[in-house]
């Protein structure tokens, strides 16, 4: 993982090149005040002070130079305002000429993320270090960048190297570092206790055997929260097999688990006063002679029977058993992350996780939290009228809604059946992937909704503002 702690340092007056931020409306006055040689160079660089634009400004000495960069609002920097600079400037140390780095420090760090497990980028520039006077926030910003990088690393890793055992290893590593307690259910115990998780994963090779990974951390007397993440390490679609185009990115179908593990890391790093219960139901939805079939009826941990309308709607099955287990600990809040439906992407695109919740106050709070940290979500309705789409003639419910309508909503309604009545619940149907690069956010695995939920938890349990 990228060593972000080396890229954000306290400003103690050490040598560094300066970065002057200006808004487009200020450009003419700034430009007029510059010497002729500076104006000529700025004009040659076609600098217009638009967001993400920058130019090199020559100094008095032969090797003396600084940077001028455009921003939308100099006094209200967002997370990605300095990201283009971090991606593009030469190796070295930099500081703003005035003002605080604020939220923009996060983008400075995440812009320098590299996934080099399989190919080293020999042409990459060396580290660009940002100096900041906001020393008290350095540790928290670094922790958030590390959590984002963890999601990216886990999701970017191909399924051959990111199976159920690898997710278990990631949880055990977190637990060992911070005093968590891990419990893993597999084999016969999984088949008996979590039959839907077992059914989804039973067709995979033994080395990819399904399991439920649980970790507990924190004071048992503290408020209890459960964080659940869908961990389908690869999704062929099962016997309702996906086309090759739909299967190409299915290494990312464990993106919900990646988010859940990263959120657990943030909760522990911030020492939030909660009793955390992390649950990762993980399997490979493979095809073999013993794969579960369309028309099969599964009995869930909760006791509900589920007719299989589509084997490619497997994520909600593993989550159903995990949500039941989460509710047994009587948490006051359950949060789940899942790369659950293509319908959510049709509805809100790749950038916005579709948010469902049974609590109106939570809905408002998480929307505000996401806006505050540049990690937006978009609420969709838990519309009870669509429960009829999940009806079965021979079981308590069907796992796939009829008619192809409201796919994200019916998936969320399916999950809601496994959430204890009266328990506050948030479900994020996230893409966990960025199809095109943006400043600070490279193409590939991505954390979407992670920081919004963490901000919500900080405000709810630690009084953060």
Which of 218, 409, 424, 453 minimizes the C-alpha distance to 334? 424
Which of 337, 332, 296, 290 minimizes the C-alpha distance to 318? 337
Which of 281, 280, 324, 284 minimizes the C-alpha distance to 414? 324
Contacts 24+ apart (CB under 8 A), 247-252: 249/433, 250/159, 251/155, 251/157, 251/158, 251/159, 251/162, 252/155, 252/339, 252/432, 252/433, 252/445
R_g (Cα) of the chain, nearest Å: 24
Q: Residue 379 is inside which H or E element, if any?
A: strand 378-379
d(CA 188, CA 199): 12
d(CA 156, CA 140): 24
Across-strand partners of 186? Answer: 211
Sign of CA dihedral 163, 183, 189, 330: negative
Residue owning tokens 């016969």: 188
Residue 199's SS3 state is: helix
d(CA 159, CA 318): 18
Active site residues: 242, 316
Across-strand partners of 329? Answer: none
């Amino acid at each position: 993982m990228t060593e972000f702690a080396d890229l954000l340092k306290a400003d103690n007056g050490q040598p560094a090149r300066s970065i002057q931020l200006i808004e487009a409306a200020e450009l003419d006055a700034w430009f007029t005040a510059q010497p002729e040689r500076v104006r000529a160079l700025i004009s040659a660089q076609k600098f217009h002070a638009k967001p993400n634009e920058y130019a090199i400004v020559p100094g008095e000495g032969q090797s003396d130079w600084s940077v001028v960069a455009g921003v939308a609002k100099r006094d209200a920097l967002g997370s990605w305002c300095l990201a283009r600079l971090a991606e593009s400037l030469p190796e070295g140390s930099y500081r703003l000429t005035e003002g605080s780095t604020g939220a923009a420090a996060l983008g400075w760090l995440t812009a320098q993320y590299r996934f080099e497990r399989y190919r080293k980028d020999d042409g990459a520039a060396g580290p660009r270090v940002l100096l900041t006077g906001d020393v008290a926030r350095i540790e928290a910003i670094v922790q958030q960048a590390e959590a984002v990088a963890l999601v990216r690393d886990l999701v970017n890793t191909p399924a051959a190297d990111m199976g159920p055992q690898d997710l278990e290893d990631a949880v055990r590593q977190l637990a060992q570092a911070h005093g968590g307690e891990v419990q893993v259910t597999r084999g016969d115990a999984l088949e008996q206790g979590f039959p839907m998780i077992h059914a989804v994963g039973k067709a995979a090779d033994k080395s990819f055997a399904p399991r439920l990974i649980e970790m507990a951390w924190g004071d048992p007397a503290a408020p209890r929260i459960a964080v659940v993440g869908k961990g389908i390490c690869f999704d062929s679609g099962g016997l309702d097999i996906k086309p090759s185009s739909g299967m190409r990115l299915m290494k990312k179908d464990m993106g919900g688990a990646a988010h859940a593990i990263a959120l657990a890391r943030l909760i522990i790093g911030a020492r939030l006063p909660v009793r955390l219960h992390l649950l990762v139901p993980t399997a490979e939805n493979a095809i073999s002679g013993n794969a579960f079939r369309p028309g099969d009826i599964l009995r869930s941990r909760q006791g509900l029977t589920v007719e299989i309308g589509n084997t490619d709607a497997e994520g909600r099955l593993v989550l159903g058993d995990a949500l039941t287990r989460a509710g047994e600990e009587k948490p006051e809040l359950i949060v789940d992350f899942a790369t659950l439906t293509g319908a959510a992407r049709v509805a809100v695109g790749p950038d916005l996780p579709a948010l469902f919740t049974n609590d109106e106050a939570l809905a408002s709070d998480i929307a505000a939290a996401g806006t505050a940290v540049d990690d937006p979500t978009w609420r969709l309705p838990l519309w009870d009228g669509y429960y009829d789409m999940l009806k079965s003639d021979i079981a308590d419910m069907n796992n796939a809604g009829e008619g192809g309508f409201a796919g994200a909503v019916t998936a969320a309604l399916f999950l809601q059946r496994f959430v204890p009545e009266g328990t506050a619940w948030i479900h994020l149907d996230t893409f966990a992937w960025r199809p095109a690069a943006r400043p600070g956010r490279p193409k590939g695995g991505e954390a979407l909704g992670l920081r919004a939920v963490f901000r919500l938890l900080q405000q709810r349990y630690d009084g953060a503002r």
